Amino acid sequence: MTEGVKPNRGSEPPSRDGRRTRWTKHRQERRAEFVEAAMCVLAEIGPEFGIEQVAVEAGVTKPVLYRHFSDKADLVEAMGERATEILLDRLIPALNSEEAPLPRIRKSIDAVLGTLEEYPNLYWVLARQGHGGDAVVRADKEIIATALSALLGDYLRAFGLDSGAAEPWAYGVVGLVQNTAEWWLERRSMSRDSVTEYLTTLVWAAIDGFARQRDVVIDPNVPLEINRVIQLSPGSTSGARSGTPDTDPTGTDAEPGSGQR
């Protein structure tokens, strides 16, 4: 071996990739902290909050905040992503609960109303204040409707029924719940429990009527022998937005149409 020449060990010396990864993680953590600060300011001040107020809440200067968000619209979009996480963390377990149809519907609707009740200003800033937040609301509706469509389609097929109604039905239910929720947030003329119960009754009446027209009778207070659950793409909600939710059948010993008749 030539003197002074180091042998090739077959690998490059450590690069800066590790530091780059750590820096990326640090930026993500800082962005998350600033989003939480912004949500606190929004809850206290309302949709007209400013970047400077967020900086004060976060204990940093505006230039530091602008290293992580290009403008208010960028911050609002990040807040929308956080809102999606919160909503889906509550809604999907409710939709997937192994309960009778009626309490399952009730829990799902209450999960939506409960989230909006806890974060009303966040909903308004996303839905009506521009800054790109309306795109987040539309994306959330698409996620929920697509997931619900898959769920309904599975159940319709399990009962030996045409699943063609699943998609328009799902979008109709999502629109009904969202429009009623907006009305309720503005008026507050009745309790959340009352609104939940009215919506639950309407949704169940549609399901029951559809089934009975096809000679299928489902007991609303008895769990179905087959259970279908929604599985969104693992990881972040951005992944869920770009993918199509799958449903996972459990209780496979049950034959199609073997629910309560």
Residue-by-residue DSSP string for the chain: --TTPPP--SSPPP-THHHHHHHHHHHHHHHHHHHHHHHHHHHHH-TT--HHHHHHHHTS-HHHHHTT-SSHHHHHHHHHHHHHHHHHHHHHHHHT--S-HHHHHHHHHHHHHHHHHHSHHHHHHHHHS-TTHHHHHHHHHHHHHHHHHHHHHHHHHHTT--GGGHHHHHHHHHHHHHHHHHHHHHH--S-HHHHHHHHHHHHHHHHHHHHHTTT----TTS--SSEEEEEPPSS-HHHHHHS--EEEEE-TTSPTT-S--
**Identity of the amino acid at 222:** V
CA distance 242 to 152: 21
In the prediction, which pLDDT does 159 show?
A: 92
Q: How many residues does the chain have?
A: 261
In the prediction, which pLDDT does 257 show?
A: 38
Note if the pTM is more than 0.85: no
User: pLDDT in tens for each of the 261 residues of the chain?
Assistant: 444 444 454 555 555 566 667 778 888 899 999 999 999 999 999 988 999 999 999 999 999 999 999 999 999 999 999 999 999 999 999 999 989 999 999 999 999 999 999 999 999 999 886 656 778 889 999 999 999 999 999 999 999 999 999 999 999 999 999 999 999 999 999 999 999 999 999 999 999 999 999 999 999 999 988 887 887 654 444 433 434 455 544 443 333 333 443
In the prediction, which pLDDT does 232 show?
A: 66
